[in-house]
């Protein structure tokens, strides 16, 4: 079982991310993403099942034999044929899944819990012949009643899997529920625990971190949080969450790569980096309101829990708007190489506010006003 000092990140952009509505990665793009994630330092890279398509199988083999530091895994049905394909194409980790909730057992496969365990035992016994990590995930964990869930996890743990996976497949779980459930699974098994949480109700990052607090050792993420429907916990979101609490939790990652990683994948799937994306959003370190800008100019820590420079970003302070404060005006003047006394900066700020009340401002107009008040 892994140490609980920090979670290990399982990046599944090349599996879960492929299920995003506009994602259709070429082989060269898959390789570029894998190499970038490896350079960033994620511990695991999960790829689409080789049973999904011939190209998926070929790409798994190419990336698995690339000599990357990250362990290359694939996510497959708990079926002997899929497991064989994973081994044949060089997977270093085989991530099995089986739906355990009543809704999915009825709609998807029709198996009983006893049948699930029986079929899992055959596949796990086969995989244990090879030097691969085995994870068994109960799909739709949080709509599975707890006694059934623990029964399945204890059974597969005794069969020798390295990890059990808890999947909030439909994004229904709450942070408190995730913490409680993971803690109960932690008390029931001795193997590692992985969490995979969807963002349908907006709790993906919070749920993932609560899973870690409850005893999970591995957390699933994707670049930008892309995935089925509106995705899962984002890589940048998890890094931001950890870094804000203890920078040492992310010290081993090349965190300055995050903005470029997000931009690269955003371009590949034809979207823009979301305005609310932690770290990589164009506005992540942008300050506007007068009270905020005064404080952040005096001490950036006043309104920044993360240092933008650590992530290859720069802080920006907006002045071309009606909410501007005179401190921001004076700071902009200093950037221009001119001096404004406090009375002059206040007068300039008042003028900018008045104009901003009537129509949108631009930086050129503001700079011209500042030059007028320069001493």
Neighbours of 332 (CB within 10 A): 23
| 292 belongs to the catalytic site | yes
Pair 135, 163: CB distance under 8 Å: yes
From 75, 196, 292, 327, active-site residue = 292
Contacts (Cβ under 8 Å, ≥6 apart) of 56: 47, 48, 49, 50
- Encoding tokens for residue 354? 């008045």
Q: Which residues are tagged catalytic?
A: 292
């Amino acid at each position: 079982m892994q140490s609980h000092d920090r979670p290990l990140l399982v990046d599944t952009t090349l599996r879960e991310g492929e299920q995003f509505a506009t994602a259709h990665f070429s082989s060269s793009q898959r390789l570029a993403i894998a190499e970038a994630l490896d350079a960033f330092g994620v511990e695991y890279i999960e790829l689409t099942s080789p049973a999904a398509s011939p190209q998926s199988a070929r790409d798994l083999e190419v990336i698995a034999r690339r000599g990357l530091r990250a362990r290359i895994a694939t996510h497959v049905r708990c079926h002997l044929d899929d497991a064989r394909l994973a081994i044949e194409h060089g997977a270093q980790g085989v991530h099995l899944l089986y739906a355990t909730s009543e809704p999915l057992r009825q709609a998807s496969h029709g198996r009983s819990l006893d049948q699930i365990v029986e079929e899992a035992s055959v596949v796990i016994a086969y995989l244990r012949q090879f030097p691969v990590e085995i994870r068994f995930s109960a799909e739709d964990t949080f709509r599975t009643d707890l006694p059934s869930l623990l029964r399945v996890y204890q059974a597969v743990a005794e069969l020798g899997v390295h990890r059990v996976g808890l999947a909030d497949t439909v994004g229904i779980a709450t942070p408190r529920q995730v913490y409680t459930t993971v803690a109960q699974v932690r008390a029931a098994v001795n193997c590692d625990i992985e969490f995979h949480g969807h963002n349908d109700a907006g709790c993906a990052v919070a749920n993932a971190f609560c899973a870690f607090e409850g005893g999970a050792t591995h957390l699933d993420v994707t670049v930008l949080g892309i995935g089925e429907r509106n995705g899962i916990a984002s890589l940048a979101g998890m890094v931001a969450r950890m870094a804000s609490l203890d920078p040492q939790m992310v010290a081993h990652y090349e965190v300055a790569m995050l903005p470029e990683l997000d931009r690269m994948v955003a371009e590949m799937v034809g979207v823009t980096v979301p305005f609310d994306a932690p770290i990589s959003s164009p506005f992540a370190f942008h300050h506007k309101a007068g009270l905020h800008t005064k404080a952040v100019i005096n001490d950036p820590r006043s309104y920044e829990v993360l240092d933008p420079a650590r992530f290859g970003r720069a802080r920006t302070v907006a002045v071309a708007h009606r909410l501007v404060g005179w401190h921001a005006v004076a700071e902009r003047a200093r950037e221009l190489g001119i001096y404004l006394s406090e009375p002059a900066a206040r007068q300039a700020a008042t003028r900018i506010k008045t104009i901003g009340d009537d129509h949108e401002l631009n930086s050129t107009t503001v700079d011209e006003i500042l030059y007028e008040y320069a001493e």
